[in-house]
Structure 1
Amino acid sequence: MESKSKLINDKQYDEKKAFSEQDLKKFSSFYEYPAYIDLQQRFELYGRPLIEQTYYVLTEGVSRDTIKINGKELINFSGYNYVGMSGDPYVSNAAIKAIEEYGTSVSASRSVSGEKPLHRQLELKIAQFIGHKEDSIVFTAGHATNMGTISHLFGENDLIIHDSLIHNSSWMGTILSGSTHINFPHNNMDALDEILQKHRKYYERVLILTEGLFSMDGDIPNLPKLIEIKKKHYAFLMVDEAHSLGVIGKTGRGICEYFNVNPEDIDICMGTLSKSFGSCGGFIAGNHKFIEFMKYTCPSFIFSAGMPAPNAAAALASIELLEKEPQRITDLHNRSKLLLDLLKKAGANTGDSKDSPIIPVIVGDDELAIKLSFALRKQGIYVLPLFYPAVRKGQARIRFFVNSTHTEEQIHYTATVVQEIFKQFKK
């Protein structure tokens, strides 16, 4: 930091480029901020009431197969409680017991006095669940896990090549790292290989960054090909398994189980605890040496309070329960396939979603996506619209999250209603 300050202090400015007092007044107002102006334009375009009834809606109870809004129970496709761990008595009781023993906060960074037995038990359990990984490190938030890890491990002499549809947390980590970065077309392995062929030899470390299951489209990258490419070009491979771990693969062990490849071939395995594991937080899994390095050097871990004990206990109990009850994964897969097949028969554009509980219905037009969401809500189905910047322009959609607690009756009813609404909109 000192060297950067010195550079600024010694910098010679071109007075012709100085801002006027009028400019400075404008820049001192948050309400002149381009992003704020853009938001107000969106409110004006769609109407504030419509936006406020769509996002940040107050919901009641546990988010499972149903959810309550204003006292009305709706079939819920808005949350990612994929295997029903949040709200399960076994998981809830584990969290309650942890509160009784450790309180609601560890009240310190784990490097100081916030290290609890539950943290280590959870970290070892995560590694064991993934398979072939020796250890893991848990962070208090999934977003901070990606942002902190990527920006810590890579720098200005490095290159990050990422899928064009990576999550915001990975994108922010890429920007903060100061690395040169290039995106490759979504899941296009030939394009990735060409980029590496052209640029690899001009950088020290190179990271290939992708996801195990993409949260907006419900599609899965070609992991065997990614591994082949990363080995060919001496690159690191990082896979964000936020939505794939506890979801895909015969027993829910993620993208490596899905493709039957060795997890050791993924250099940096990231995941979250807020989806299939009924809690909150994120983790990085790897060998002992790598995880030890992260624990002693990663700023977003060291300078953050440790994960609250009840969160750690809930995640640990969720993994234990999933191992005891693998039928949850089977149910999730069956319900997901059923909805996907029925929506396709109804004429819905579900994109490239496959073997996934994330099923988009792509309509293209922003306003149409909002209207479709509201029409479904009137029929007792809660599913939310997505449009730019959450997805690419012209790719507006509603997105279904299926979970193992959904019944076949709920799935059939939903598909029937979607088909009827499509017919109404076409009139």
Structure 2
Amino acid sequence: MQILIYNKHHIDVNLESRDGMLGGPPAYDFSGEHVQHTTCNGSSGLGLYSRPFIESFEETPMLVAVLTYMGYGILTIFGYLRDFLRDWKIERCHVAREREEQRDFVPLYQDFENFYTRNLYMRIRDSWNRPICSVPGAKVDLVERVSPDYNWTFDYTGKVVEGVINMGSYNYLGFAENTGYCADASAEVTMKYGVGVASTRQEMGNLDRHEEMEELVAKFLGVESAMAFGMGFATNSMNIPALTGKGCLILSDELNHASLVLGARLSGSTIRVFKHNNMQSLEKMLRDAIVHGQPRTHRPWKKILILVEGIYSMEGSIVRLPEVIALKKRYRAYLYLDEAHSIGALGPGGRGVVDYFGLDPRDVDVMMGTFTKSFGAAGGYIGGRKELLEYLRSHSHSAVYAASMSPPVVEQIIASMKCIMGEDGTTLGRDRVQQLAENTLYFRRRLTEMGFIIYGNNDSPVVPMMLYMPAKIGAFGREMLKRNIGVVVVGFPATPIIESRARFCISAAHTKDMLDTVTIPPCLAQNGYLFHTKDIKSVHLWPVPPLSSLNSP
């Protein structure tokens, strides 16, 4: 196995290599870019990876970082000036204010949060929460709106912006549709069962379709048992507290989703955060946990749980799962894998990051995922050993107190999953998985060739493109919408303050013409020069393999 990591500002050399599993990679100075390229000979039995593992993360150039901080500084100065004008009633104040008789009450907002919302977020608020009035497929219809008061309120014009290329929805396999096999099956079930169940699973809300869905999910994942929940966020936040508690240790990736963070906090466990996808950082924490034990008493931890995601939705990176599993086995920890963005979107069979790396699902203790993305439905699931799922059925707040999943939603999950597995008698699902892989590689290739700085793994359908400066967030989103392209723009606090970005989500439903429309003048290329988001460095971040390599092992 050969692992090469290039990172100008992070030199971490681990010379230990045990059993050929965790040999630490050397680090080299390589023009300021961070490239991870992992290759190995899978037949040797010593390598953890059976395919190239290529990711790119370029650190913010110094000039760009300085200019970005200056931009925030200027916005802050003008924010305080506008607050002064509002206090003296020179400028109209739209923000809610505390009553005089409530001055001694605990404030509703922290000072910084309130200031940021008033003076920075409101400038670009029109870039988010845009209402749509169609199926969120490859194209979407938007309700046109205008703001008479600088984004404090919005008025609807009554017009509809039709045919906007949808680069923002997590519709990875294109199952967000109102025609076809899945839609027809859901409509038929609605006529038989209705829309709602009006009860919990443990009372009168357990339908035969729920049982069939969970058996199908377990079969799809390759695990003993599975359980479904009505909300993806609650699948994490309400089940992690049932798995760990006081005296337990949670090791969480620093870029984990808010649902994982909330679930860890609600559990009452001790939480320690390791650097994103950094196996040296994770191994050090595992060692320290075993050597030192619990604080003060130094007793052994009751349980050590590692929390990771399959695809990280803001970075586009893929978890280094073979190494995580090797560490988990070596230090006898438990592994909780969130496959919200990777299930359906990765692997030759669309079975997620475990399938992508060709690993054994039994090596993952808790397999979590959602139905809201690749399956075009709603809710989440947890898969694993039968004993684990029986325990969760009686101890999980989400299982005991939440209402049952809607029957048409359940049928959408069943139909789309059977389609992916090929049990519908067609190759439609397999073709969509392959098309998503091709679209992802093609789109990333196009952006790289054009000189844009993009983050993430070569095979990730989440494609972050760096904007950096706060003023570009709203401007880029507006200019793309003028060209009938809907894209998500992201800034602080969802990202680090100097790493604002646009995030493209690739779908199997996208055609080559759609992707070309996004990436050719006068759209993305013109905006790249207009907002100076390209050619910051004249170096490609990683080599792009040919399309023929998609099916290579």
Q: TM-score of the superposition, structure 2-length normalised?
A: 0.70
One-letter identity of the residue aligned with 2:183: S
Greater relative contact order structure (CA < 8 Å, 6+ sep)? 1
Matched, 1:57 2:57: no
Q: Point out 4+ residue stretches in structure 1 off by more than 6 angstroms.
A: none
Query: Partner of 1:41 in structure 2?
Result: 116
Map residues 146-161 of structure 1 onto 2, 5 A cutoff. 146-161=236-251
* Larger mean Cα displacement after TM superposition, 36-45 or 161-170: 36-45
Question: Mean alpha-carbon deviation: is it higher for 160-169 or for 57-66?
Answer: 57-66
> How much has 1:394 moved relative to structure 2?
1.1
Instruction: Give RMSD over aligned pairs.
Output: 1.9
Answer whether contact 1:91 1:278 (CA < 8 A) is retained. Answer: no
CA–CA distance in structure 2, aligned partners of residues 176 and 146 of structure 1: 11
In structure 2, the partner of 1:344 is: 448
Q: Shift of residue 426 of structure 1?
A: 3.7
Q: 1:262 to 1:59 in 2, by over 3 A?
A: same
Cross-structure match for 1:302: 400
- Give 2:232's aligned residue: 142
Q: What does residue range 225-264 of structure 1 map to in structure 2 within 5 Å?
A: 225-264=323-362
Q: Identify the match of residue 201 of structure 2 among 82, 90, 110.
A: 110
1:274 matched to 2:372: yes
Q: What are the superposed Cα offsets for residues 101-135 of structure 1, whole Å, 9 maximum, x if unpaired?
A: 2111111110011100111111111111112x011
- 5+ unaligned residues in a row in structure 1: which ranges? 1-21
User: Structure 1's 75 and 43: CA in aligned 2 closer, same or farther, altered over 3 A?
Assistant: farther
| C-alpha separation in 1, matches of 2:111 and 2:176 | 35
CA contact (8 A) 1:27 1:33 kept: no
Distance 1:391 1:343 in 2: 21
Q: 2:134·2:141 contact (CA, 8 Å) conserved in 1?
A: yes
| Aligned partners of 1:296 and 1:302 also within 8 Å | yes
Q: Which residue of 1 aligns with 2:471?
A: 367
Runs of 5+ consecutive residues of structure 2 not aligned to the other structure: 1-98, 144-159, 294-300, 423-427, 534-553
1: CA distance, partners of 2:139 / 2:263: 35
Aligned-partner Cα distance in 2 for 1:23–1:216 = 42
Deviation (angstroms), 1:353: 3.2
Sort the Cα spacing of 1:328 and 1:36 in 2 relative to 1 into closer, same or farther, 3 A.
farther
Q: Distance in 2 between matches of 1:346 and 1:290?
A: 49
Alpha-carbon distance in structure 1 between the residues aligned to 2:134 and 2:351: 29
1:36 deviates by: 8.2
Counterpart in the other structure of 1:422: 528
| Bigger share in helix | 1
CA distance in 1, matches of 2:196, 2:486: 33
Q: Which residue of 2 aligns with 1:206?
A: 304
Answer yes or no: is 1:68 the counterpart of 2:141: yes
One-letter identity of the residue aligned with 2:388: F
Q: Distance in 2 between matches of 1:397 and 1:157?
A: 39
CA shift at 1:26, angstroms? Answer: 4.2
Task: Name the SS for the 1:322 alignment partner.
Answer: helix
Equivalence for 2:181? 90
Please give the alpha-carbon distance, in whole angstroms, between the structure 1 residues aligned to 2:210 and 2:454.
Answer: 39
Distance in 1 separating the partners of 2:264 and 2:285: 17
Aligned partner of 2:510 in structure 1 is 406
**Match for 2:383: what amino acid?**
A
SS in structure 2 opposite 1:114? coil
Q: CA deviation at 1:89?
A: 2.2
Q: Note the alpha carbon deviations across 1:304-332, whole angstroms, 9 max, x for none.
A: 11111111111111101122320000100
Q: Which amino acid aligns with 2:411?
A: A
What number of residue pairs does the alignment pair up? 401
Following the alignment from structure 1 to structure 2, what is the Cα–Cα distance between the partners of residues 127 and 58? 36
Whether the 8 Å contact between 1:353 and 1:360 is mirrored in structure 2 is: no
Higher-Rg structure is 2
- Whether 2:390 is the aligned partner of 1:292: answer yes
Q: 1:219 aligns with which of 309, 317, 338?
A: 317
Query: Which has the larger displacement, 343-352 or 109-118?
Result: 343-352
Contact 2:167/2:486 (CA < 8 Å) preserved in 1? yes
1:380 matched to 2:380: no
How much does 1:245 deviate? 0.5
Structure 2 letter corresponding to 1:313: E
Deviations 1:73-113 (A, max 9, x none): 21110101111112142111222222222111111110011
- Post-superposition offset of 1:287: 1.9
Secondary structure of the corresponding residue to residue 398 of structure 2: helix
Name the aligned partner's letter for residue 183 of structure 1.
V
SS of match in other structure, 1:306: coil
Deviation at 1:23, TM superposition (A): 12
Q: Structure 1 residues 70-79 or 116-125, which shifts more?
A: 70-79
Alpha-carbon distance between aligned partners in 2 of 1:97 and 1:166, rounded to the nearest angstrom: 38
Offset of residue 266 of structure 1: 0.4
Show CA shifts across 1:316-358 (max 9, x none). Answer: 1110112232000010011111111101111111123320110
In the alignment, is residue 392 of structure 1 matched against residue 496 of structure 2? yes
Range with bigger deviation, 107-116 or 362-371: 362-371
Residue in 2 aligned with 1:16? none
Cα offsets for 1:133-161 (capped at 9, x unmatched): 01111011000000011111101100000
Q: 1:12: which partner in 2?
A: none
Measured in 1, the distance between the counterparts of 2:482 and 2:408 equals: 37
3-state secondary structure, aligned to 1:112 = coil
Structure-2 change in CA distance of 1:232 and 1:380 (3 Å): same
5 Å-filtered alignment, 1:170-185, equals 170-185=260-275
Per-residue CA deviation, residues 226-270 of structure 1 (Å, 9 max, x unaligned), is 001011111100110000000001121111111111010000000
One-letter identity of the residue aligned with 1:342? R
Within 1, Cα distance between the matches of 2:103 and 2:335? 44
